[in-house]
Amino acid sequence: MVLKLSTTFLRTLREDPVDAEVASHKLLVRAGYIRRAAPGIYTWLPLGLRVLSRVEAIVREEMNAIGAQEVHFPALLPREPYEQTGRWTEYGEGLFRLKDRKEADYLLAPTHEEMFTLLVKDLYNSYKDLPVYLYQIQNKYRDEARPRAGLLRGREFIMKDSYSFNIDDEGLDEAYMAHRGAYLKIFERLGLEVVPVFAQAGAMGGSKSEEFLHPTAIGEDTFVRSPGGYAANVEAVTTVVPEDIDFSQLPAFEVLDTPDAPTIDTLVAVSNELRPRTDRAWEAKDTLKNVVLAIIDPEGNRHLVVLGVPGDRQVDEKRLEATIGAALGINGEVGVEQATAEDLKSHPEIVTGYLGPALGLDKQLLGKDTEGGITYLVDPRVVSGSSWVTGANEHGKHVFGLVAGRDFTFDGTIEAVNVLEGDPAPDGSGPLRTERGIEMGHIFQLGRKYAEALELKVLDQNGKLQVVTMGSYGIGVTRAVAALAEAYHDENGLAWPKQVAPADIHIVVTGKGAELLEAAEKLANEFEAAGKEVIFDDRPKVSAGVKFSDAELIGVPTIVVVGRGLADGLVEVKDRATGERRDVAVAEVVAELSA
Amino acid sequence: MVLKLSTTFLRTLREDPVDAEVASHKLLVRAGYIRRAAPGIYTWLPLGLRVLSRVEAIVREEMNAIGAQEVHFPALLPREPYEQTGRWTEYGEGLFRLKDRKEADYLLAPTHEEMFTLLVKDLYNSYKDLPVYLYQIQNKYRDEARPRAGLLRGREFIMKDSYSFNIDDEGLDEAYMAHRGAYLKIFERLGLEVVPVFAQAGAMGGSKSEEFLHPTAIGEDTFVRSPGGYAANVEAVTTVVPEDIDFSQLPAFEVLDTPDAPTIDTLVAVSNELRPRTDRAWEAKDTLKNVVLAIIDPEGNRHLVVLGVPGDRQVDEKRLEATIGAALGINGEVGVEQATAEDLKSHPEIVTGYLGPALGLDKQLLGKDTEGGITYLVDPRVVSGSSWVTGANEHGKHVFGLVAGRDFTFDGTIEAVNVLEGDPAPDGSGPLRTERGIEMGHIFQLGRKYAEALELKVLDQNGKLQVVTMGSYGIGVTRAVAALAEAYHDENGLAWPKQVAPADIHIVVTGKGAELLEAAEKLANEFEAAGKEVIFDDRPKVSAGVKFSDAELIGVPTIVVVGRGLADGLVEVKDRATGERRDVAVAEVVAELSA
């Protein structure tokens, strides 16, 4: 059906909405695709719904192509399954919770691992039933602290989420790779550049995980790429661990008075003054900073931990939250805070600003082997034989040349600090470069976490019950529409790629006279008969200028102008993206553009 | 894509689910179309989703055909707009309410009048923009006290809701009739018999309203039909009012001792004993029952009302709730309760069991004109000149021959009692018949209620602001799937009409041997190439008997059996609905069934 603008429910705006920061948000609102209903909650108007349904169709086709089967779960779900996996509490304030009239607890689902697990448990009981891949395209809810950027981070949004169920790890690998392949195809078909980057599985549990990031300056996620193609989320970059160093020839450590050096900067300055190096100046990376943190487990208990990290690095709390639970043997989501005076009450041995691990192996202060010692974890760069300037556990004193493995030990290493532009890439191809991106998709090898919590077991070939292994895979469908708008626009408006555009042809009629309108309408019908979708700007009393700028704003790939040239049998064809214009004979334009 | 049962996510059940009462619920679960996630909340499995999407497609086509434009609103909405129209409180316990992390109030929308009104207000400002019809197919939420009958009354369900916006009443009439026509077409295409019945607009406000009821014994709604085609919801039937009676020749009323006659039954018995009629025996319909009720307004205030109704009728609370507000000038949803002793404290003149309106016009007890009198409303059958046996306002006494208009007056008439099978139909075509039905759709002329509350005004031709007039129109999409399952099944399972069936052909291969399986698969692919959707039961190690019974249970219109006959070049074609079987040459079956 030709979409006539004279009757289409559409009002384009000249001004950007006041709450909009990013181009996709501004343009989707201005061009009449979406409208805000509440913070982070949007209404789809007719043009927006068209783009959305085209994106959904591409996602659906590629999911079906790998044998995934579509189902549809409710968004309103009971508490119990999420209680069983611990996510009812782990999700914290991000979960919309409510009660029904009988005071039973419900939630608006942020993702559906639990429900899919229970459904498969409900229907299947044998290894012969597996593998099975299930998916849905469905509304999700997350009570974001700061919903922002229009559709990019909303509180009600559409996701495609799928789940794989296999009897063994090889099966899970296959399912994971099938989804990975489908995702790459989906983004390629959408025309959306993505980089698959290694990611921390985090709160989802499980082992292997990759994010599909669309590189853009407005992205919320930072990731790193190497010249050789390695890419990882900053929380998941693996540090290139230096070789152990032979410490047999290193001089003994030395404790020096370093008054007024409680920070890394002052310590570096004092070191260069007090004990200048012969090879080069002291730098922050030569110091070992010991940070006391409180880790809060899901039950709210506080666990003290000291992290020893090179002085040029910051502890990345998000990264630490993803790794520290496993390091301490805590299940579920953990919180990280600076230790408080209260936390430190029972540790009078800690001298703030001058904390160090030891002064020799017989004077170890930190670590679980020490009586009353706090767990001591270090950055992977703290290898055996590495030598450090660090605190001497006495006010105004630091120790120089304290050697790991010779003078102090630790309980383990942990990936917890920020990545720096120029760090060596794990693939050995050179220095890492940092970039920003939007997370468009995420794939996880969940493993058996959910199946164990919810007791999804099937009989194996030997008639024994086996816990099923699972994967979970998500694409932000709403977000894909926004990312496409980010990637395909210019200063005049949107410029959709044809596979997701709300129409193929936008016909503008300019000038007065019934014959122009008639000719344009005839063209519109002919395009439609040729299988093209048409927007027809037939609005009376709207100037040609407004019609042109609306066409640019709406962003259909091809604009056909029916105007003065018609007297000579010509219409103008304009490519929205390139701006290229040419005259085409009206008798040939349908055949040409449909070819 | 051929749906192979060996890999389809499906498990048919031999037993009915324990919580299922009606056939659609039992069969949709047993045949693997849906699965319960929580009370009144269901998951759509692959086969169910196919039927659902076919129903949605038909609804969408017919809505588009009347020029309605599809949009999509969030389900999670802020409180404010619903507060402005009063529905935040009026919905009572039926509304799912929740708070976000900032303690702001939200709801899960049961319908979207407010949001559509605000959207049109946001985009439009002139009569030239109107009319506009907007619709969505979207999840709705109602916290039903007793979710029942599977998909028939759920708490999360899909509705098509549309809204019309016009500048004047003629426009609204047109919009209403366009929707009415579209609805009749939709139900006809679905193959679902419906009767449009007059309805009370009730809580929705507004004037004209019709329900589309699907007649079935398991329906929750009672409606009446006349031989001439009149049909109405029992709450909306208009009483055929008898002619006024000339009372000039009627004898004066007479007060008699009627001990032990506090009920209608005892009163009728006593009357026949004490003052037998000459023409016929006294019946309950000759008595005037006066019922004292408390009407609770939206602010919780109680208003006393007495209803005078013929003794053979019961006050229908649902009906009364829909009419009494307007009669008393109360806006919003009202509650109705029996008056309590507390309510009656200030009315010592009321003698329970012997209440009557008056003993002559000078001894009027009820009615607003009486000093301290309670509002007195009567059934429309209480016409001037009608003569009644009723209470004499003294214990153990009744009055005989009390004549309306001569001996007592009232404040007005009200439609508040139940309809009886055999009541005369308003269209004069004979007696009414009562039937049960499921509400499949509902159309309302809302008028200006919402537009006024939310200030939706546009400039008219004279440049003056006019309040827009609205209609709202709903179809239960989820419910339509259930109603179709109710209408199309037999003792062996479902038997879908082809336009909504999950596939066109269900191929069953029986017997062993690779050549049978190959031939069946070849057939499946040929059917698909001919544009048919195919379910192919290729499950190994499943007996022919189980395959046949699953095919009957799943209910695809045509079953093709590839088995022994193949040696003679024949397959069996079975019509699921009629049970008719015939052999068809394998070489011709695709062409024949695709014709």
Interstrand relation of A534-537 and A3-4 (parallel, antiparallel or unpaired) = parallel
Is this complex's ipTM strictly greater than 0.85? yes
pLDDT at B300: 86
Q: In chain A, pLDDT over 70 holds for what percent of residues?
A: 99
The pLDDT of residue B134: 98
A137 touches chain B (CB under 8 A): no
Strands A505-509, A558-562: pairing kind? parallel
- A15, A35, A47, B120, B575 from A19: Cα distances, Å: 12, 12, 21, 20, 60
Interface of B with A in 40-59 (CB under 8 A): 41-46, 49, 52
pLDDT at B201: 53
The CA dihedral of A170, A172, A176, A181, to the nearest 10 degrees, is 50
Tokens of B154: 């759920």
Chain B: residue whose CA lies nearest to A75: B156
Q: Looking at the complex, does the CB of residue B138 fall below 8 Å from at least one CB of chain A?
A: no
Select from B58, B18, B51 the least CA-distant residue to B36.
Answer: B18
**Cis preceding-peptide flag for A298 (omega within 30 of 0):** no
Per-residue pLDDT band for A141 (boundaries 50, 70, 90) equals very high
Do A507 and A465 fall within a single domain? no
A180 shares a domain with A61: yes
Chain A residues close to B43, C-beta within 8 Å? 71-74, 115, 119
CB contact under 8 A, B9 and A132: yes
Question: Is residue B211 located within the same domain as residue B321?
Answer: no
**What region, left, alpha or beta, does residue A216 occupy, with left being phi > 0 and alpha being psi -120 to 50 degrees?**
beta
Indicate whether A474 belongs to any domain: yes
Q: Any chain B CB within 8 A of the CB of A119?
A: yes
Interface test with A, best of B5, B8, B71, B133 (most A CBs within 10 A): B71
Query: What is the CATH classification number for the domain harbouring B276?
Result: 3.90.960.10
Q: Is B133 helix (H, G, I), strand (E, B) or coil?
A: strand
* Boundary-marking domain end, from B486, B514, B547: B486
Based on the fold, state whether residues B268 and B389 are members of the same structural domain. Answer: yes
Highest mean pLDDT: which range of A11-25, A171-185, A259-273, B291-305: A171-185
Nearest to A76 among B32, B122, B141 (CB): B141
Cβ distance A25 to A149 under 8 Å?
yes
CA pair distance B3, B9, nearest whole angstrom: 10
Residue B54 and residue B168 in one domain? yes
At A204 the pLDDT is 46
Interchain contact, A155 vs B100, CB within 8 Å: yes
- Taking the C-alpha atoms of residue B579 and residue B594, their distance in angstroms, rounded to an integer, is 19
Note the pLDDT tens digit of each residue in A459-473: 999 999 999 999 999
On whether both A451 and A567 belong to a single domain, the answer is no
Residue A325 has pLDDT above 90, yes or no: no
Q: How far is CA B312 from CA A189, B404, B421, in A?
A: 72, 18, 12
* Residues linked to residue B397 through DSSP beta bridges, in sequence order: B257
Q: Are residues A206 and A173 in the same domain?
A: yes
Q: Which residue of B has its CA nearest to A6?
A: B129
* Nearest Cβ partner for B76 among A1, A32, A156: A156
- B154 shares its domain with B197: yes
pLDDT at A206: 55
| Type of residue numbered B425 | A
Q: Where are the alpha helices (DSSP H) in A368-418?
A: none
Q: Which residue of A has its CA nearest to B79?
A: A38
Residue pair A404/A245 in contact (Cβ under 8 Å)? The answer is: no
Average pLDDT over residues B484-489: 97
CB atoms within 10 A of CB A177: 12
Distance CA A107, CA A92 (A): 12
Look at residue B28 and tell me whether its pLDDT is greater than 60: yes
Residue A183 identity: Y
End-of-domain residue from the set A383, A413, A443:
A413
How many C-alpha atoms does B460 have within 13 Å on its Cβ side?
A: 10
User: Is position A446 within any domain?
Assistant: yes
pLDDT tens digits, residue range B30-82?
A: 999 999 999 999 999 999 999 999 999 999 999 999 999 999 999 999 999 99
A17 touching B (Cβ < 8 Å): no
Give me the percent of chain A exceeding a pLDDT of 90. 80
Contact B192, B409 (CB under 8 A): no
In angstroms, what separates the C-alpha of A181 from chain B's closest C-alpha?
A: 20
Q: Which chain B residues are closer than 8 Å to A157 by Cβ? A: none
Residues B262 and B309 both lie in one domain:
yes
The confidence score (pLDDT) of residue B191 equals 97
Domain that holds residue A284: 254-413
How many other C-beta atoms are found inside a 10 Å radius of the C-beta of residue A243? 8
* Residue position matching structure tokens 């948000």: A25
* CATH number of the domain encompassing residue B547: 3.40.50.800
pLDDT, one tens digit per residue, over B403-425 is 999 999 999 999 999 999 999 99
Are residues B313 and B383 both part of a single domain? Answer: yes
Chain B touched by A101 (CB under 8 Å)? yes
The answer, yes or no, to whether residue B204 has pLDDT greater than 50, is no
Question: Helix/strand/coil (H, E, C) string of B421-444?
Answer: CCCECCCCCCECEEEEEEEEEEEE
Residues A353 and A333: their CA atoms lie apart, in Å, by 30
Q: What is the mean pLDDT of chain B?
A: 93
**3-class SS of residue A479:** helix
Closest to B508 in 3D by CA, of B546, B533, B536, B541: B536
Taking only the tens place, the pLDDT of each residue in A146-160 is 887 889 999 999 999
What is the arithmetic mean of pLDDT over A426-440?
94
Query: What is the DSSP track for A321-355?
Result: HHHHHHHHT--S--EEEEPPHHHHTT-TT--TT--
A429 is a domain residue: no
Is residue A132 in a domain?
Answer: yes
Which of A10, A34, A43 best probes binding to B when mutated, by most B CB atoms within 10 angstroms? A43
The yes-or-no verdict on residue A487 having pLDDT over 80 is: yes
Q: What's residue B292's pLDDT?
A: 94
Which pLDDT tens digit goes with each residue over A370-400?
888 899 999 999 999 999 999 999 999 999 9
Chain B nearest CA to A163, separation (Å):
13
Interchain pair A115, B37: CB under 8 A: yes
Alpha helices (H) along B1-158? 23-30, 46-65, 80-84, 87-90, 113-123
Per-residue pLDDT reduced to its tens digit, A30-83: 999 999 999 999 999 999 999 999 999 999 999 999 999 999 999 999 999 999
Element of type H or E holding A573: strand A570-575
Q: Does A13 touch chain B (CB under 8 A)?
A: no
**Number of inter-chain CB pairs under 8 A, A vs B:** 135
DSSP line for B395-419? TTEEEEEEEBTTTB--SEE---B--
* Residue B537 domain flag: yes
Number of CB atoms found within 10 A of residue A301's CB: 10
Domain boundary among A353, A382, A413: A413
Which region, left, alpha or beta, applies to residue B505 given φ > 0 means left and ψ of -120 to 50 means alpha?
A: beta
A70 and A183 both lie in a single domain? yes
Count helices and strands (H / E) in chain A: 14, 32
Nearest of A558, A538, A499, A476 to residue A221 by alpha carbon? A476
Helix (H, G, I), strand (E, B) or coil at B33: coil
Contacts of B123 in chain A (CB under 8 A): 9-11, 32, 35
- Structural domain includes residue B202: yes
Nearest to B72 among A49, A94, A141 (CB): A49
Q: What is the mean pLDDT of residues A281-292?
A: 95
Instruction: Supply the Cα-derived Rg of chain A in whole angstroms.
Output: 30
pLDDT value at position B206?
55
Residue B261 pLDDT > 90:
no
Mutate to test the interface with B, among A41, A107, A119, A541 (most CBs of B within 10 A): A41
- Is B470 among the domain residues? yes
B443 part of a folded domain: yes
Q: Residue B120 corresponds to which amino acid? A: V
Q: What is the mean pLDDT of residues B164-181?
A: 97
Q: What is the pTM of this model?
A: 0.87
Nearest residue to A240 (alpha-carbon basis) of A82, A369, A379, A363 = A379
Using CA atoms, how far apart are residues B15 and B27, in angstroms rounded to an integer? Answer: 10
Beta partners for residue A305, in sequence order: A293, A375
Total domains present in chain B: 3
Regarding whether A510 and A473 lie in a shared domain, the answer is no
| A71 to B9: CB separation less than 8 angstroms, yes or no | yes
* CATH code for the domain in which residue B131 is found: 3.30.930.10
